[in-house]
Amino acid sequence: MNIQTAIQGATGYTGAELIRLIDAHPVFQIMHLGAHSQAGRKVSDALPGVSGTIGDTLLASADDPLPDEVELVFTALPHGASARCVQRALNSGKRVVDLSADFRHRDVATYKTAYGVDHPCPELLSEAIYGITEFQKDTLLAEARLVANPGCYPTSALLPLIPLLRAGVLDTGNIIIDSKSGASGAGRSARTELIFCEVNENVRAYGLPKHRHAWEIEEKACFFSDVRACIQFVPHILPMTRGMLSTLHLSGKQPETWCGILMNAFADKPFVCMLAEGQLPSIAGVAGSNRCDIGISVTGPDHAVVISCLDNLIKGAAGQAVQNANLMFGLNEQAGLSRIALWP
Amino acid sequence: MNIQTAIQGATGYTGAELIRLIDAHPVFQIMHLGAHSQAGRKVSDALPGVSGTIGDTLLASADDPLPDEVELVFTALPHGASARCVQRALNSGKRVVDLSADFRHRDVATYKTAYGVDHPCPELLSEAIYGITEFQKDTLLAEARLVANPGCYPTSALLPLIPLLRAGVLDTGNIIIDSKSGASGAGRSARTELIFCEVNENVRAYGLPKHRHAWEIEEKACFFSDVRACIQFVPHILPMTRGMLSTLHLSGKQPETWCGILMNAFADKPFVCMLAEGQLPSIAGVAGSNRCDIGISVTGPDHAVVISCLDNLIKGAAGQAVQNANLMFGLNEQAGLSRIALWP
Amino acid sequence: MNIQTAIQGATGYTGAELIRLIDAHPVFQIMHLGAHSQAGRKVSDALPGVSGTIGDTLLASADDPLPDEVELVFTALPHGASARCVQRALNSGKRVVDLSADFRHRDVATYKTAYGVDHPCPELLSEAIYGITEFQKDTLLAEARLVANPGCYPTSALLPLIPLLRAGVLDTGNIIIDSKSGASGAGRSARTELIFCEVNENVRAYGLPKHRHAWEIEEKACFFSDVRACIQFVPHILPMTRGMLSTLHLSGKQPETWCGILMNAFADKPFVCMLAEGQLPSIAGVAGSNRCDIGISVTGPDHAVVISCLDNLIKGAAGQAVQNANLMFGLNEQAGLSRIALWP
Amino acid sequence: MNIQTAIQGATGYTGAELIRLIDAHPVFQIMHLGAHSQAGRKVSDALPGVSGTIGDTLLASADDPLPDEVELVFTALPHGASARCVQRALNSGKRVVDLSADFRHRDVATYKTAYGVDHPCPELLSEAIYGITEFQKDTLLAEARLVANPGCYPTSALLPLIPLLRAGVLDTGNIIIDSKSGASGAGRSARTELIFCEVNENVRAYGLPKHRHAWEIEEKACFFSDVRACIQFVPHILPMTRGMLSTLHLSGKQPETWCGILMNAFADKPFVCMLAEGQLPSIAGVAGSNRCDIGISVTGPDHAVVISCLDNLIKGAAGQAVQNANLMFGLNEQAGLSRIALWP
């Protein structure tokens, strides 16, 4: 059985990763590649890493109609542009996993506050299923027409946070998330602040006082745990390409029990690996895989540090999109996804 | 059909890459993992990137007997140690792909000159098949008990060099190979000159006046082309983990014809991609894949620069080993190997 | 006027930085270089960056007697070894700036808890002056025989923290310091976890549940502010050589006033640069200089994020040592120190 | 004695390095900073590394008139723009060190071939003195109104090449220069190919078949040695910020004598360090200093590899400019320049 797919926004970093994953997928096949700006070029000219048959494909415009055979569309376009593209795909009867921010929020007001623009297609918001795979219901994914793939920071924050919020052990007024991301999270755009010599041998925080993803973390932490929490979120950009590490500084009761809570939560989740207490994860352990590794260190009678690591382009974007798509089409959740990192 | 394999030297960088590739291989399966120094530990404790079932495997000693079911052994041990391990595997009826330098040379004298020690098992040299897959005969690989997997520098140099030598177009007295390698080529050993702060933001040449791999390049260039050439080889270590770029400074006749010669040579080779004249390859285009990309620029009426790029741990080591093993066991050459890079 | 100095531990990263700074200093001169392990070699053989006359100096052993003319000794040896060396220098009438941890704590019990060994020279602890220059009294430095140079993490944490603690605006039960350091902070030692391929494209926290420098931060925050605070400290190692960024997640009252408090505190301090509110510092802005840049973003009615950046080998080690030595000898605090970064 | 200077093009990487060097110079002082695109901003807003008094300077436009007190102007603008700026400075009676390519060639035809545009001020070409300091006559520099500062690649190539050409030992038909440069050589421009994720973990050759600097190397090698040589030049961009390593693959007679030839040539040159035969330089040994380190390995009876390393922004640009300016104004050649690298 094959399922034909299209990728919109194929020439960005997330699009390139989708091509790599789907090209190796046992069921999904790439039938159509659309791009925001490089339509008409060969894929291999726009993406240095793509070779073989798929490399000879000509890039369509993101506005071009999709082939009839396509059942599933991945949209990895900038916010705003993505929503329109999603709408066209749904109207032509396709199912969609949207990797932009456009369908992550339930509420147009939050979207406008976080992204500074009016939502282009508010009528679709109510049917979008938020695809944090480990916490979303398989049945909802199986029926979804539109899955909103989570942001990379929210994925790294929510995976450890939701089980602890559900367990009621956290001091919800004092949750601090200090995140560190590789530069690929900023996308493939030619801005002076992103050129090599400005990022290399450098670190800086950005997006303060409230980064866009802070809204997403707050909303989804509450949605999946039924607990309202006050979350401080500070992201940093690091001199590396891939990977994300989030350090959660937490207080609450009986932190020595939290490792067990997290182990239980992820016992049957193939892509989340909860380490033994005191063992700390590293980005190198997950880069190139769809895994999120989580570790905890109890630092006081009512304090602990929880650290989560993932590859921002895989579990934080394209990999989780494939994981969601697998469940949408009744496939094995792990189809086409690796649990082993590309190391070193 | 499954074929059980063992990996000896599983905790080095090449061993880790073998685990990743074989874990995802459609036919080969990992039954046994041996290590030089970390025997008794769980694989996931020794290798941060390995998770899932295979991560729970206990590492055997490289001296432990191999399970009966194992048909194929990959040896990725230091030279000298590898030869002994190969001998034991052959004696117990296994077939072997050896990734060390121990069986690359036909002649014990060259081995001693290049590696400074007497060869431990000279009696096996004559039956070793040198596995530069694109130029080795499939029939020889199909029957081989022992395949000597080429070095990374030799692979990057020989792929573009052999077709040009065979065509008789090169000035054979004046072949210069200037190679640049990521630091993973130096292996996972705790030496001051390899620690981060000594390699980062730094470049240096090393191994002069004659690096070990210079002997291998000279011998195999001659063996596969029947042309004796004088080759100057200078390797450099770069501040990056993976990847190798070799710049061949060549003179000879009608360099405008060389691109065609190379295109013909690799027309049916899935893992060598000859670019259009004037187009230059980059490491980023091949890292994470088993590809070697080659480009050429004609720089004068009798000069050209030919550049080849590969991932030193894949096409330069573990990937080519799997490619050879595929042919040894009658499988599709591409089984379990990717032509798409992990980019960015 | 010239003042002759000696550097003990000259071949580590901090020692090398001391050589660079003092070689360019208008008053201090290098008369003697001692090394822990490379005695007898030429400096330029042990340190690739040192050339010229000073490069031809032969390294003495750290145990060798010091020339009579030497008035000032910088000791940059491992803890434990440094204390003995300091004692010998003091006994021969020299003044000392010790860059190890040996004389930072007032209390032998804290030292033993943090460093796991008994203090070798407890009798000297009471006279050591802790050299966080901006907060230490000039008169004490001017008379000191022994200055304990602060750790890099404590410097980056204490500079922003002490003025806010003194002002009484912080919630002292909830101070979280999330620090990120370049790999040079781990020193020049050949350990597998420090080799290039293990640090590059990677980030990890370490030293939990309580890093050695956490004790120093707690003790000195209290000593210089008379306020006892509960501090959570989590350090991370980054894929870069130099630089340190500490993110302080703080709560308290009227955070909109904190920028002014910090501006006042550092108004006359040439090496601490307090940025305008909302402007965030970066490591690239300070690397190669003796500056610490501090920025603040008010993130809620009772929350703010304060970020400090410095070069761990300069303001976090050798540069602050020279700054202290300048004041010990009645020189201009800025002598031989730069406020302009090596950028990019 | 102070000499007032202006820097045109202050906000690029070379301009920033000029600010750092001149701010610390014992005689030269910065009176005026002009910028191509950021006029009106404070220097510290445009350049993260600049603090203190100089950071508060407002950037003038590169077209603004220069203060009367300015005696010396450094122009670090893009080619074409620089020539016009130089002309205005000369017309107002200033002396100029131009760091662009505009006055390096004697011949307008070569300039047009290499840079693709007509020369804006051909009448000034004849009086420009090419400032490869070690080979230029001090008397010419002392009298020069206009010094053309060499390119970074030419500096790294010419320093080892000229003495060997002068000695008549090289096979002049077969000189191959394989150069590796940090990304700062490409300047501070927002192009997709320069963003972090495209340069990091990557290497590529560029500028083929004939890079602009190849013309400069050929012309100046001939000018300073009176020997016409055929030079093949291939530059590569590396994943690092600063530094340049050029590998010269040379053939000729009695290569065992070449180390001595080079040692003699540079015996009294403070910024060129010729290493003992077989000892190889590294970029880390020179980055942050104005040194060029050169090493040689004799690789055959008529072959040798000569390797030169320098910091492309210092000895390859701003440092050599200051070195030339020192001689223009009768100062010590070493004034304000360091022979010790910033290491690690």
Determine contact: B339 vs chain C, CB below 8 A.
Answer: no
Over chain A, what is the mean pLDDT? 97
User: From the centroid of its chain, how far is CA C119?
Assistant: 20
pLDDT grade, residue B288 (50/70/90)? very high
d(CA B273, CA B243): 16
**Sequence-ordered strand ranges (E) for D301-335:** 303-310
Q: Which chains pack against B, by 3+ Cβ pairs within 8 A?
A: A, C, D
Out of A209, A282, A303, closest to residue C202 by CB: A282
Give me the total of CB pairs closer than 8 Å, taking one residue from chain A and one from chain B: 99
Cα–Cα dist B125/B104, whole Å: 8
Q: Give how far D193 is from chain A: nearest CA, Å.
A: 8
Note whether D195 contacts A192, CB cutoff 8 Å: no
The shortest C-alpha distance from A258 to chain C (Å) reads: 15
Q: Evaluate if residue B1 carries a pLDDT over 90.
A: no
User: What percent of chain B has pLDDT above 70?
Assistant: 100
What tens digit of pLDDT does each residue of C40-61 get? Answer: 999 999 998 998 789 999 999 9
Active site residues of C: 152
Q: Does any CB of chain C come closer than 8 Å to the CB of residue B240?
A: yes
* Integer Rg of chain C from CA: 19
Partner-chain contact C190 B192, CB within 8 Å: yes
A-chain residue closest to C249, CA distance: A176
CB contact under 8 A, D192 and A188: yes
Whether the link from the prior residue into A209 is cis, omega within 30° of 0, is yes
D341, D176 in Cβ contact below 8 A? no
Strand partners, B236: B180, B205
User: What residues of chain D lie within 8 A of the CB of C341, using their CB?
Assistant: 20, 48-51
Name all chains with 3 or more CB-CB pairs below 8 Å to chain C. Answer: A, B, D
Confidence class for position B165, pLDDT limits 50, 70, 90: very high
- Is pLDDT above 90 for A37? no
Structure tokens at D1: 């004695």
Q: Which of C156, C202, C242 to mutate to test the interface with A (most CBs of A within 10 A)?
A: C202
Cβ separation B192–C188 shorter than 8 A? yes
CB-based contact B287 D198, cutoff 8 Å: no
In this complex, do B180 and D180 lie within 8 Å of one another by their Cβ atoms? yes
Q: What is residue D319's predicted lDDT score, i.e. its pLDDT?
A: 98
Closest partner residue to D47 (CB to CB) among C13, C270, C343 is C343
Q: Chain C contacts of B195, Cβ < 8 Å?
A: 183, 188-191, 194-196
Per residue in A266-298, pLDDT tens? 999 999 999 999 999 999 999 999 999 999 999
Judged by a CB distance cut-off of 8 A, whether residue C24 touches chain D is yes
Chain A residues in contact with D198 (beta carbon < 8 A): 188, 196
Any chain A CB within 8 A of the CB of B50? yes
On chain D, the residues whose CB falls within 8 A of the CB of B231 are none
Give which of D37, D188, D195 to mutate to test A binding, by max A Cβ within 10 Å.
D195
Residue type, D36: H
Look at C340 and D49 and tell me if their CB atoms are within 8 Å.
yes
| pLDDT at site A1 | 81
Q: Do B200 and C200 touch (CB under 8 A)?
A: yes
How many beta-carbon pairs under 8 angstroms link B with C? 64
Structure tokens at A323: 């994981």
- Residues in D closer than 8 angstroms to A191, CB to CB, are 190, 195
D152 belongs to the catalytic site: yes
Mutant choice from D197, D199, D282, D308 vs B, greatest count of B C-beta within 10 A? D282
Contact A280 C206 (CB under 8 A): yes
- Tokens 């033994």 belong to A276
Confidence tier at A242 by pLDDT (50, 70, 90): very high
Q: Which of C177, C198, C203 to mutate to test the interface with A (most CBs of A within 10 A)?
A: C203
Smallest Cα distance from B321 to chain D, Å: 24
Neighbours of A71 (CB within 10 A): 18
Chain B nearest CA to C286, separation (Å):
17
pLDDT at residue B210 greater than cutoff 90: yes
Asked if C205 contacts C232 with a C-beta cutoff of 8 angstroms, the reply is: no
Residue ranges for chain D with pLDDT beneath 50: none
Q: Flag whether pLDDT at A53 surpasses 90.
A: no
Q: Specify the pLDDT at position B202.
A: 98
B204-205 β-sheet, strand order: B204-205, B231-237, B175-181, B244-251, B303-310, B292-300, B272-274
Instruction: Confirm or reject contact between B99 and chain D (CB < 8 A).
Output: no
Residue A51: the pLDDT is: 84
Residues of B (167-226) whose Cβ lies below 8 Å from C: 183-184, 188-192, 194-201
Q: Which residues of D touch A197 (CB under 8 A)?
A: 13, 182-184, 188, 241
Is the pLDDT reported for residue C1 higher than 90? no
pLDDT in tens, A117-175: 999 999 999 999 999 999 999 999 999 999 999 999 999 999 999 999 999 999 999 99
Smallest CA–CA separation between A279 and chain C, in Å? Answer: 9
Q: Tokens at residue C225, please?
A: 């502010």
| Cβ contact C49–D184 (<8 Å) | no
Residues in B touching D287 (Cβ below 8 Å)? 201-202
Q: Is D245 in Cβ contact with B200 (below 8 Å)?
A: no
Cβ neighbourhood burial of B80 (10 Å; 0-12, 13-18, 19+): middle
The stretch C108-117 carries a mean pLDDT of 95
Query: CB distance D201–B278 less than 8 Å?
Result: no
Which residues of B are less than 8 Å from C196 in CB distance?
183, 194-196, 198-200, 239, 241
Do residues B95 and B146 lie in contact, with contact meaning Cβ atoms separated by under 8 Å? yes
Q: What is the DSSP string of D139-198?
A: HHHHH-SEEEPPPHHHHHHHHHHHHHHHHT-B-TT-EEEEEEE-GGGG-S---GGGBHHH
Cβ–Cβ < 8 Å for B269, B289: no
Q: What is the pLDDT of residues D122-140, one digit of tens each?
A: 999 999 999 999 999 999 9
CA distance D266 to chain C (A): 13
Q: Determine the 3-state secondary structure of A322 from DSSP.
A: helix
DSSP secondary structure letters along C147-186? EEPPPHHHHHHHHHHHHHHHHT-B-TT-EEEEEEE-GGGG
C344 CB neighbours in chain D (<8 A) are 13, 16, 184, 188, 241-242
The contacts of residue D139 (CB under 8 Å, 6+ apart) are none
3-state secondary structure B4-59: EEEEECCCCHHHHHHHHHHHCCCCEEEEEEEECCCCCCEHHHHCCCCCCHHHHCEC
Selecting from C13, C201, C241 the residue whose C-beta is nearest the C-beta of B241 gives C201
CB atoms within 10 A of CB A222: 16
Distance in Å, alpha carbon of C216 to nearest chain D alpha carbon:
26
pLDDT at C51: 84
Q: How would residue C37 be classed by pLDDT, with cut points 50, 70 and 90?
A: confident
B183-209: average pLDDT? 97
Residue B7 token pair? 């990996």
User: Is D236 in contact with B180 (Cβ distance < 8 A)?
Assistant: yes
Distance CA B118, CA C84 (A): 48
Please tell me the predicted confidence (pLDDT) of residue C36: 81
**Pairs across A and D, CB distance < 8 A:** 65
